[in-house]
Chains A and B, each alone.
Chain A
Amino acid sequence: MSNSNLFSYEEEMTRYVDGDMSPEEAAAFETKHPEAAAQKLTDSCIGNLLRKHSEIPPLQHAEFFNHQILREITSTSSPSSPHYNPPPLLRFAFAGTACLLAAAGIYFGFVASQEKEPEFAVQITEIKAGDDQLSVKLIESEGLAVVWVDGLDYLPDTYTLE
C-alpha cells in the first residue's frame, strides 16, 4: 500500500484515519487535504466512543442456548462431507463434458426420437390367390394378424384357415 495513486480519496482518507500510511505518505496527504487532520481526530473520537460505550448484555440462558442448537442439529442431517475443490482446469473439463452430455441428451431426446418410425407400424402383405376376382391381404399390427379376403360372396363351409 505504498502507492497512494492507486487509491481513491475515500480509500486514502480511511487509510490515513486508521494510521495505515507511512509518515511520508501521511504528511503528503495532510498537505494535499488540510481537513484530514481534523477528520482523523473526529473519527478517532467516535471510534473511542463506540468502544467505550459499547455495552453488550451477557448471553442469557446459555445452557438452553446450547441445548436448542444441539436439538436442531441432531434432528436434521449430519454435517456435510469434506468439500473437494477440483483445480480450475479440471473444473473446466467437467463443465465441457457436462455441456456435451447435455447437448447429446437434447439431440437424442428430442431430435433423433422424432426421426424414428411410428410405434404403431402396420405391415400389410398381399397374397396372390390365383383368381383375379379374389384378393387376400394379411394385416399385422402389434401382434395382431387380420386376414382380409375380398371377392368371395361367402366362405365355403369346407374352407379352413390354416
Chain B
Amino acid sequence: MAESISSKTDLNAGTSAASNLENATPDVPDDKPLVARCQKGDTTAFDELITRYRNRAFAMMYQMIRNEEDAWDLTQDGFVKAWKNIGRFRGESAFYTWLYRILMNVGLDWLRKKHVKGDSEFDDSIGLTNVAAGAITAPRKDLEPAERMADAEIRKRLDAAILKLTPDHRAVIVMRELDGMEYQDIADAVSCTLGTVMSRLFYARKKLQTLLRDVYEQL
C-alpha cells in the first residue's frame, strides 16, 4: 500500500493557513468519480481521497486542538466518519467542504467532551465599554528589535490565547481568521445562524484583544 500511496496526489502539503474552502484549490482534480466509487464501497478510492486531503484536514484540526497527537487521531476519526456517511453525500458542495464540516464537528465534540470551557464568554473585562477604544495598535517606535517579542514567544502566547477560548469561539476564529471562510460557510459548518457566527466572532475577538494586548502593543 505504501507504494500506491506515495504515487498519489497529495494536495496542499504546505497547508496555506488562509484559504477559502471552495476557492483555495483551483487545480484540484475532480473528486466526484472517487466519491462515486466510495459510495459503492471502494476503499481504494477512499484511500485516494485521504491522501488528497489529509494534510489540509490535519492542519485544520491542529488549528482547533493545538496538540499534534490529538489532532492526528481526531483527523483519522473524521475520515472514518466521512466514510461511514459518504452514502449521504449528495455532491451539493465540494467533497472537502463536506469533509471540513465533519472534521470541525469532530473537533468541537472532542473539545466539549474534554470540558474545554475557555474563560467566561461574557466576561466583564471584555465588555463593550472598555474594549479596544484607545488601544495602542500602531507599532511603538521606541522599541529596539531585540526588545520585541521573539517569534517563538509570540507563537506561544497566541497558542495560549486560543486555548483560552471556548470551543465555539475557537471554531469561528479558526474558520474566519485562519481558513478565510465566509460567514455563511461557517454557519453551515457549525449549524448555527449568521447572527450567531458574527456574535461569536465579536466576543472571540474581544477575548483575544484582552489576552494579547501586550503582544500587539509591542509590535
B212:A46 contact, CB within 8 angstroms: yes
Asked if A113 CB lies within 8 Å of chain B CBs, one says no
Asked if B84 CB lies within 8 Å of chain A CBs, one says yes
For A42, list chain B residues within 8 Å (CB).
Answer: 132, 135, 137, 209, 216
For B134, list chain A residues within 8 Å (CB).
Answer: 35, 38
0 or 1 for each of A67-86: is its CB under 8 Å from B? (1 = yes): 11110111011111111000
Q: Which of A49-57, A89-97, A143-151 contacts B (4 or more CB under 8 A)?
A: A49-57
**Contact size range, A:** 35 or more
Complex CA–CA separation, A66 to B203 (angstroms): 38
0 or 1 for each of B56-83: is its CB under 8 Å from A? (1 = yes): 0011001100001000100110011001
A73:B80 contact, CB within 8 angstroms: yes
CB-contact partner of A38 in B47, B133, B155, under 8 A: B133
For A138, list chain B residues within 8 Å (CB).
Answer: none
Asked if B141 CB lies within 8 Å of chain A CBs, one says no
0 or 1 for each of B81-102: is its CB under 8 Å from A? (1 = yes): 0011111101000000000000
B47:A59 contact, CB within 8 angstroms: no
A49:B215 contact, CB within 8 angstroms: yes
Asked if A60 CB lies within 8 Å of chain B CBs, one says yes
CB-contact partner of B155 in A55, A62, A67, A80, under 8 A: A55
Given A63-B2, A68-B76, A46:B198 Cβ within 8 A = no
A79:B83 contact, CB within 8 angstroms: yes
B88:A9 contact, CB within 8 angstroms: no
A66:B54 contact, CB within 8 angstroms: yes
Complex CA–CA separation, A34 to B134 (angstroms): 10
0 or 1 for each of A28-49: is its CB under 8 Å from B? (1 = yes): 0000001100110111011101
B86:A66 contact, CB within 8 angstroms: no
B72:A60 contact, CB within 8 angstroms: yes
CB-contact partner of A15 in B80, B85, B137, B198, under 8 A: B198
For A63, list chain B residues within 8 Å (CB).
Answer: 1-2, 5-6
B54:A65 contact, CB within 8 angstroms: yes
In whole Å, how far is B208's beta carbon from the nearest beta carbon of chain A?
5
Complex CA–CA separation, A82 to B212 (angstroms): 47
Asked if A108 CB lies within 8 Å of chain B CBs, one says no
B219:A14 contact, CB within 8 angstroms: no
A contacts, CB < 8 Å to B: 7-11, 13-15, 17-18, 20, 34-35, 38-39, 41-43, 45-47, 49-51, 53-60, 62-63, 65-70, 72-74, 76-83
Some 10 contacts from A to B, beta carbons below 8 A apart, are A7-B195, A7-B198, A38-B134, A43-B132, A50-B177, A56-B59, A56-B62, A66-B1, A70-B43, A77-B84
Q: Which 4 A-B pairs have the closest CB atoms?
A: A35-B133, A39-B132, A10-B202, A80-B87
Taking A41-B138, A62-B54 as given, write out 18 further A-B residue pairs in contact, using a Cβ cutoff of 8 Å, ordered by the A residue number. Answer: A11-B195, A11-B198, A11-B199, A35-B131, A35-B132, A38-B137, A43-B209, A45-B219, A49-B212, A51-B17, A54-B17, A56-B63, A59-B75, A66-B50, A76-B80, A77-B84, A79-B85, A80-B85
